[in-house]
Structure formats: structure tokens, C-alpha cells
Amino acid sequence: MRVGRETRGRRGKGVTVITGLPLSAVEIKNLARQFKQKCGSGGTVKDGVIEIQGDHRDMLVELLTAMGWNAKRSGG
């Protein structure tokens, strides 16, 4: 699973994107809700990809590894 940052199509506003989650749609929504609360930020789920507003890559990688997932930071 990858945790990256994207600005494309968002008028320069960055979002943190989590891809490659082998979970069902309901589980991904629940995980996104937890991440939004931890980051204190908004976000959404689109096509199985979690998008969190702002740059929270480091925090999300730590949270995912603490949950037992093999998460890697992607991008610059």
C-alpha cells in the first residue's frame, strides 16, 4: 500500500492519497473516518482510494504500520 501526495485537479491544494488497500468498501470508509479524526482534517473515499486533505503522509504511514500494514511513503 502506498501513501502519497497529489495536487492534480485540485487547483494546487494538496491531498494525501492512500492506495492499494485490500479491504471492502465499508471497511475503507471506516478506516477513512478514523484517519480524518486523527489528522483533524476532511477527506473522502473515491474508487477504493482514501483522500485526506492536507499533507499527512508521515502520520498516516505511522498509523498504518501500527495497525500491522506494510505502508510505504511515495512521492517527493
Annotated domain spans of the chain: 2-73
More confident residue, 10 or 19: 19
In this prediction, residue 76 carries a pLDDT of 65
User: What pairs with residue 52 in β-bridges?
Assistant: 16, 43
Tell me the DSSP string of 23-36. S-HHHHHHHHHHHH
CATH superfamily of 2-73: SUI1-like domain (3.30.780.10)
Query: What pTM was estimated for this model as a whole?
Result: 0.88
Cell of 17: 492519497
Q: Listing from the earlier edge strand, what are the strands of the sheet with 72-73?
A: 43-46, 49-53, 15-19, 2-6, 72-73
Calculate mean pLDDT across residues 21-46. Answer: 94
**43 φ, ψ to 5°?**
175, -175
